[in-house]
Every structure is written in structure tokens, then in C-alpha cells.
Amino acid sequence: MLGGYAGKILRVDLSSGRMRRETISEEWLRKFLGGEGLATRILYSELEAGVNPLSPKNKLIFMTGPLTGTITPAAPRYSVAARSPLTLCIGTSNAGGFFGPELKFAGWDGIIVEGRAEKPVYLLIRDGEVELKDASHLWGKDTYETEEILRREVGGKNLRCACIGPAGENLVLIASILNDKCRLAGRTGMGAVMGSKRLKAIAVEASRRRIEVADEEELKRLSGEIVEKLQANPLVKLLSDHGTDGFFKLLMEEGYGLAKNWTQAGFAVEKLDGENITRNLMVRRTSCFMCPIACHRDVRIDSGPYAGYEGPGPEYETVGAIGCLCLIDDLKAITKASDLCNRYGIDTISTGSIIAFAMECYEKGLITKEDTGGVELTWGNVDAVLEMIRMIAFREGFGNLLAEGSRRAAEKIGGEAPQLAMQVKGLELAMHDPRVKPGYGLSFATNTTGGRHTEGVEGSENPSTIILDQNMHAVVNSTGLCRFAYVALSHEISDAVLFSYVPKLLSAAVGWDITLEEVLKTGERIFNLKRLFNLKHGIGKEEDRLPRRFLEEPLQTGPAKGRICNLKPLLEKYYELRGWNAETGYPTREKLEELELSDLLEDES
């Protein structure tokens, strides 16, 4: 048996209650690794073109990678994938924490969920024993309550749980899946797919805590080297010391124009920086499984309207989306908003972005207080933001429209609204500004899942660097590794000492004799596979675009004042370098043959 992998996956048909174990061929494992790569390959084969994402015919896949749960530093991740109800593209999202490792310890590489249960259920996995259990009493509970109840009812001390909150149950298209309370598969609406299947949670507990690898001594040696390199990297130190929001000030000083729905730079730079969280709110740093970086932090609020809160603090993306986009400069209020999103199970990036979009519509008179049910959606109005989060999660009143995501909401509102929705392929943008660094624009426009930062986000204006970054991310997201440790903080391969460890880690864990060249080709294959998935489901070149604001409205303030993103020439060069047809956006036949993917799309290149 291969090392690293548990050696089997679980297929659960919720319509019939049938469950069976399956194995994946070594050919597929080597070509697609695991995580989002393997999950996308399965979905490509098994979903009919144009499948309704919220129908029983869509499939929801939880998939670990070959390094998940091994002693490799910062390798806690599992991916969730399905056709996204928000974007209609391939939907993938990955989360850290402890759920992925526990699933592997229990002996499963992944779970394919099919069909729809008649009534709410949860899946209980204890090693090889798998049961579907009634979840009627959990339906309506928030994610924290769900985990606590399951822990009380069934759990031993190692029980880990991935679940949805009310938003997933209500099929809110930006619903997330949470595990370990605050680790999120947040993007692309995977929580809505889980809700559509009436699957409230997956709870897993293993009796052993070990994953067999091919060469344990070598993996230990490599892991020791990696920890040393991580500790010597100043950007990793910043991440450790002040969390993801430790980068806030650095990025804002480059001129990011996030404020007021991406129209202004320089908003509350000192107040919202992560150093402020560390100094004034943090009670402890927290970590995912076996990660020496520990980039998360628990915070406590001792005064003001949110006094008494103690729990996860906000990440950079949340501070950007809820804080800057909506003009809220109070970290305590942002923490409260983040907590509500986590409990209800909605993605903070999309939520902040959608509310900021609605605020701009309100300011411009495209919607009124009558439309919002009396909520004054004015900039910086904290109470309005908190109320709107609740209304979105429960699809109440105006929240029902916003629960569809900014693209659909804008189409419904009409007039100028579609230009104010800051999304790509229907997914609200991550907090990186293409006017400051055009490479971010190219990354967003070509990202197969929408306006994402975890599928590759590179500031360089060189399309070949963007392609390399996207391919490296495809590998990292398919192995169980965390992007912060292996790619995000060192983009160039020559500097990316940690990405260059990936083939060595795979060789030691799995037993393959694999080179950096093969790993990079694998990343390219996975990225192209996701592109093919989208093409199969009718999402083509016309969706490789950016919001008009980035292309035509120069920033009015800050160091990047006057700049726009000139996407067209970057995109043309990108297609050429990718080996994609400039007219149709399809990968050429030669490219598919080179990547050993030509069997997937015989007629369309």
C-alpha cells in the first residue's frame, strides 16, 4: 500500500442510506494527488453537465491529501468540493484545524456524499464504523452549538466535527462549512450544498493517531528542516506574531483601496492592523494540527457593547471585508460580526462584500429603507451590518435577496447595481487590489472558482509568474499542506524553499520517486482540469473578467492614486502561455495531451 494515504474513501448515498467503501487507482492518485485535485477529477466524471448544484444529483466531496495528518509541519488541510451554487463553476474550499487529520486517522482519505436525506442527518464515523444518525434535534442550531451537542452526545475527547449552521440549512449561497469551531471551508457556498443534502454534520473519531508513511525517518528529517526554515522567515514570523491581520498595515501602505466598497485607500490603517489585535484583544495564539506557525488567535472583549466575548479573533480577509469595505473601524465590532458569521455559517469575505455592495446601492438610491425592512444601510453603521448578517443567514426580508450573492442581487436590483457588485464568476473578491498590483487582477479573472485568494494570488505583472503561482497552489491545495507555509509567503520557486520541499515530502510520505518538475506539471494538470470542469458546465472565456471599477475607475486616494488595472494584454499573454485557445478559452489539444488530460475532452479543443 502507498504511504501517506489511508487507502480508502467512503461513498454515502443519503437518498437510499447506502454506504460503501471504495479505493482510488494509483494512477489517479499520482495524477491528481488528493484534496481539490482528486475531488475535481471525481466530480468531472460523475456530474452530468449543467447539474443543478442544490439538487440531489450534485455531489459533495470531502477529501484530504497524502500529507494531511502526517508529521509534516502545517499539513492539516482537507478540501470540500462540489458544483458551486454561487458561481456554477467548480466549487472548492479548504480548511485547516483537526478534522482532516482525524478523518485520516480513522482510516478514510475522503467522503463522497450523494443524494438527499429525507430528514436531517449527521454522519458518525468511528474508525471503520459508519452510521447515519438522526439530526432533527441539531437542525436550527448554530455551528458552535452543533459541535458542543455532538461532543456531549457521542463524543470521546478526540471527536472532530465539520458542520453547517442555519445559513447552510437555509441554502444561503455563501454558506460555509466549519470544523473545530473556527476553521472554515468558507468560500463558494459549499455549506449550501451540504444543507441541500440535509446533512448537518460529519463527526469523526479515531482510536489511533498514526498515518503510515513510506520513510518515516526521512519525513522527520525533512520536517525538522522545514520548521527551521519557517522560523527563519521574517514573513512567517509576522504571521506568527500578529496573525493574518499582521499584514494589514503593510498591504494598506501599498495603496490598497478597499474602503467604501473598493473606492478609497488609507482607511483606519493603524486601528485595524493585527498588531492592535495582539496588543489589545488577544488572549492566546491558536494553531491547526502540527503547525509551528500558529497564525490564529483567540481574543477577549472586556468592555463596550460586545463585552464578555471570548473566542476566535478576525482574520485579515474579515477585517478587510467587514471593516474596510463597510467603513467600520472598530476591531471589537468586526470581531462580533465575524463571530456571528461563524456561528450562522456564512463566509465573512462574501458577507462583508455583499453588505458593502448593498450600502453603495443604498447611498445611490438604488434601494431604500423600505426595501431593507427599515435597516439603515449607511456606511460604518455597525448595527446595520450585524442585523444584515442575521437577515442573510435566515433569508429574512432583504437578507433573502443578499443571500443569493452580490451578482444575482445586483441583477435583481438593476440599474447601475451590477457595476457595484465586486465579484468574479459570482464570487465576491478576496481583499487584494488589482489596481495596486495588476497580477492580482489576472489571478482573480482566471481563477476557476471566482474571486479567490487561495487558488493563487500573485502581485507580479508577469503572467508566467501568475501561472506558476496558480499551479503551485493547485498542488498545495491537493496535498493537505497549508499555503501560508509552502507557497503564499515566498512566490518565486528559487526563493520558495518550502515549495521545493513538496516533492521530497511526497517521496518520503507516499514512496513515489517524484521530481519538482513532475509536481509542477501535476499542478498545471489540476488547474487545467478545473478549467475543463467549468467549460463542461458552460462557464467559458467570457467569465474571465474583472469588475468594471478596477478597469475604468482610477483610485482617487493613496499611493496608487490614478491607477487602474489594464487586464486585456495580461489576459492575452496568459492564454498564450497556458496553451489555451485565444478565441474560445479552451485548452488546446496539444496542451491536453501534454498534461495527459486529452481523454476528458475529445471534441472541444
List contacts with ligand SF4 (CB under 6 A): 74, 76, 96, 287-288, 291, 293-296, 482, 484-485
- Asked if 167 and 193 count as a contact pair (C-beta separation under 8 A), the reply is no
CB of 74 to ligand SF4, least distance (A): 4
CB of 344 to ligand SF4, least distance (A): 22
- Asked if 241 and 293 count as a contact pair (C-beta separation under 8 A), the reply is no
CB of 133 to ligand SF4, least distance (A): 29
CA–CA separation, 479 vs 38, rounded Å?
10
Residue among 294 and 516 whose Cβ is closer to ligand SF4: 294
CA–CA separation, 167 vs 141, rounded Å?
10
CB of 485 to ligand SF4, least distance (A): 6
- Asked if 37 and 529 count as a contact pair (C-beta separation under 8 A), the reply is yes
Residue among 288 and 382 whose Cβ is closer to ligand SF4: 288
Q: Half-sphere exposure of residue 418, counting CA atoms within 13 Å on the CB side?
A: 8
Residue among 9 and 239 whose Cβ is closer to ligand SF4: 239
Using alpha carbons, list the distances in angstroms from residue 196 to 42, 139, 170: 20, 13, 8
Question: Which among 94, 16, 133 is positioned nearest to 454, based on CA atoms?
Answer: 94
Residue among 12 and 162 whose Cβ is closer to ligand SF4: 162
Residue among 7 and 292 whose Cβ is closer to ligand SF4: 292
**DSSP state letters, 500-560:** GGHHHHHHHHH-----HHHHHHHHHHHHHHHHHHHHHTT--GGG----HHHHH----SSTT
CB of 481 to ligand SF4, least distance (A): 8
**DSSP state letters, 193-230:** HHHHTTEEEEEEE-S------S-HHHHHHHHHHHHHHH
Q: Half-sphere exposure of residue 541, counting CA atoms within 13 Å on the CB side?
A: 13
Residue among 5 and 486 whose Cβ is closer to ligand SF4: 486
Residue among 316 and 580 whose Cβ is closer to ligand SF4: 316
CB of 496 to ligand SF4, least distance (A): 16
CB of 187 to ligand SF4, least distance (A): 15
CB of 96 to ligand SF4, least distance (A): 4
CA–CA separation, 97 vs 566, rounded Å?
39
Task: State CA 525 to chain mean position distance.
Answer: 20
Grid coordinates representing 568 are 486585456
With vertex at residue 99, the alpha carbon angle to CA 95 and CA 104, rounded to the nearest 5 degrees, is 110
Cβ partners under 8 Å of residue 517, min gap 6: none
CB of 290 to ligand SF4, least distance (A): 8
Residue among 89 and 496 whose Cβ is closer to ligand SF4: 496
CB of 182 to ligand SF4, least distance (A): 11
CB of 181 to ligand SF4, least distance (A): 14
CB of 205 to ligand SF4, least distance (A): 21
- Asked if 229 and 500 count as a contact pair (C-beta separation under 8 A), the reply is no
Residue among 294 and 366 whose Cβ is closer to ligand SF4: 294
410: left (phi over 0), alpha (psi -120 to 50) or beta: alpha
CB of 225 to ligand SF4, least distance (A): 17
Grid coordinates representing 277 are 489585535
Question: Which among 84, 191, 172 is positioned nearest to 402, based on CA atoms?
Answer: 172
H-helix or E-strand containing 133? strand 129-134
Q: Look at strands 199-205 and 121-126 and give their pairing.
A: parallel
Residue among 485 and 571 whose Cβ is closer to ligand SF4: 485
Collapse the DSSP code of 49 into the 3-class scheme (helix H, G, I; strand E, B; otherwise coil) and give the result.
coil
Question: Which among 7, 79, 78, 68 is positioned nearest to 40, based on CA atoms?
Answer: 79
Residue among 65 and 399 whose Cβ is closer to ligand SF4: 65
Grid coordinates representing 32 are 491528481
Residue among 445 and 485 whose Cβ is closer to ligand SF4: 485
Residue among 96 and 166 whose Cβ is closer to ligand SF4: 96
Q: Phi and psi for 255 in degrees, rounded to 5? A: 110, 10
